[in-house]
């Protein structure tokens, strides 16, 4: 197992403000839960909470994130963007793109994204993002972006239904979590600075989604449909052309290629 201590992370980290405040836990319930409580207490933008292991790792909609200790990157970042709440998906977009770029640069593996929050390798899920926010009226107080990435994980240790993989499994060799994290944080920071300067990441994100144009099954809290995942709109919502010809706009849900 490689060393994920704050010292190891900070040594060689090239960001200006992301992860310059860093809280590390060998074991914690959920890094998102800790980050939220720190954000409520005024933690500065860029603060990172990272853990070797989570006892209550969370996905969206009450789902679980499972990761055997020491195998993964499990971290949450606090952002305080000057955006309307309807634009919160922009934070998911820049983080997903930053991670995709870091995987590609460090391993040459063709990482892709799947709407709305998955990081994929060869059609399997290698990472997921949980974005949570607090807002007052039309103002975002803070956004927590929690990232789980299977780095040196044997995916068959996870339940079979997950359709999961890991970077080491696809690459056939061990990967340095610290190097991958440092590169991902740098890539995220560059995009966040661009976002803050008014550059909306939609075009790059849409171009990285490997499910656009495909026939998919769409699951939401309200039902299941089939159709073609035609495109994403400016806020990152998915537009699916259903088999009856109607366009359905979804902001929350899951898609699986047919």
CB nearer to ligand BT5: pick between 32 and 182: 32
Q: Which helix (H) or strand (E) holds 215?
A: strand 215-220
Q: Residue 92, interface with ligand BT5 (CB under 6 A)?
A: no
CB nearer to ligand BT5: pick between 130 and 186: 130
Q: Residue 152, interface with ligand BT5 (CB under 6 A)?
A: no
Q: Residue 87, interface with ligand BT5 (CB under 6 A)?
A: no
Q: Which of residues 123-142 bind ligand BT5 (CB under 6 A)?
A: 125, 128-130
CB 88 within 8 A of CB 129: no
Residue 244 C-beta: closest distance to ligand BT5, Å: 27
CB 147 within 8 A of CB 118: no
Tokens of 201: 């990441």
Measured CA distances, 138 to 45, 86, 143, 233, 236 (Å)? 19, 9, 14, 20, 18
CB nearer to ligand BT5: pick between 57 and 194: 57
Residue 163 C-beta: closest distance to ligand BT5, Å: 7
CB nearer to ligand BT5: pick between 61 and 258: 61
Q: What is the DSSP letter of 87?
A: G
- As to burial, measured by CB atoms within 10 angstroms (0-12 exposed, 13-18 middle, 19+ buried), residue 180 is buried
Binding site for ligand BT5 (CB under 6 A): 30-32, 54, 57-61, 63-67, 74-76, 117, 125, 128-130, 146-148, 150, 158, 162, 164
């Amino acid at each position: 197992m490689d060393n994920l201590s704050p010292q190891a992370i900070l040594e060689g980290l090239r960001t200006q403000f992301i992860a310059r405040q860093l809280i590390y836990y060998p074991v914690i319930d959920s890094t998102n839960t800790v980050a939220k409580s720190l954000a409520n207490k005024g933690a500065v933008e860029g603060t990172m909470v990272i853990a070797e292991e989570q006892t209550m790792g969370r996905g969206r909609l009450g789902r679980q994130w499972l990761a055997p200790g020491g195998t993964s990157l499990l971290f949450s970042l606090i952002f305080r963007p000057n955006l309307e709440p309807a634009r919160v998906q922009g934070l998911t977009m820049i983080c997903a793109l930053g991670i995709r770029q870091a995987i590609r640069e460090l391993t040459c593996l063709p990482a892709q994204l799947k709407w709305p929050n998955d990081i994929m390798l060869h059609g399997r899920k290698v990472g997921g993002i949980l974005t949570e926010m607090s807002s007052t009226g039309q103002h975002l107080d803070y956004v927590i972006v929690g990232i789980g990435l299977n780095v040196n994980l044997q995916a068959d240790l996870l339940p079979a239904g997950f359709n999961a993989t890991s970077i080491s499994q696809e690459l056939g060799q061990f990967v340095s979590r610290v190097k991958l994290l440092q590169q991902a944080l740098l890539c995220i920071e560059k995009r966040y600075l661009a976002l803050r300067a008014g550059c909306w990441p939609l075009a790059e994100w849409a171009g990285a989604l490997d499910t656009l144009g495909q026939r998919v099954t769409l699951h939401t809290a309200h039902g299941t449909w089939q159709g073609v995942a035609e495109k994403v709109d400016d806020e990152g919502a998915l537009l699916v052309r259903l088999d009856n010809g109607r366009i359905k706009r979804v902001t929350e849900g899951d898609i699986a290629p047919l």
